Structure 1
Amino acid sequence: MGIRTEDTRQTAVRLPKETYARLKVLAEKTGRTTTYYIREAIEEHLEDLEDIYLAEQTLERVRSGEEEVIGSEEFWRDMED
């Protein structure tokens, strides 16, 4: 099932010449569009980027003392209770 046009938003992305050339070759060799591969790359990596951002925020809270860190033994002990 494809993506319906009314469910999408358009944006512009600037790519280095070499990256765009690679993208064009891939699209031509596979019969897909460059847009398809750009969307695939974003969807594939967006969750990873979100996780990294949230982890960085948590690390900052730990470093500033706003977030408590417990050891694995204490964690598992608390899970058994």
Structure 2
Amino acid sequence: MAISVRLSPEDEQRLEQLAARTGRSKTFYVREAIHEHLDDLEERYWADRVIREWEETGKKSKPADKLWAELGI
């Protein structure tokens, strides 16, 4: 699948320099960055959703470890 990504001029320059220094393509590094950070992003947005759903139930807040235990995590 092809996608288009708009980078700031600074990020584009850094990416171009990295690719030139290493002999790898810019695409390689974009894929690496996505692969490296996708798990973190998924977890962050999953946690945001879980917290929002919890708050919408009207239940009182709890320490995170108790909340995670209740959610089976």
Asked if these proteins are the same fold (TM beyond 0.5), I'd say: yes
1:63 Cα deviation (Å)?
Answer: 1.1
1:67 Cα deviation (Å)?
Answer: 7.3
CA distance in 2, matches of 1:19, 1:40: 15
Percent identity over paired residues: 38
1:49 is aligned to 2:41: yes
Q: Paired residue for 1:61?
A: 53
1:61 Cα deviation (Å)?
Answer: 1.4
TM-score (norm 2): 0.77
Q: Paired residue for 1:29?
A: 21
1:71 pairs with one of 53, 56, 66: 66
The structure number with the bigger radius of gyration is 1
**Residues 35 and 67 of structure 1, relative CA distance in 2, 3 Å threshold:** farther
CA distance in 1, matches of 2:41, 2:58: 23
1:66 Cα deviation (Å)?
Answer: 6.8
CA distance in 1, matches of 2:10, 2:59: 43
Which amino acid letter does the alignment assign opposite residue 71 of structure 1? K
Q: Which runs of 5+ in 1 are unaligned?
A: 1-8, 76-81
1:71 Cα deviation (Å)?
Answer: 3.1
Offset from partner CA, 1:42-73 (integer Å, 9 cap, x none): 1111111110111000000111127796838x
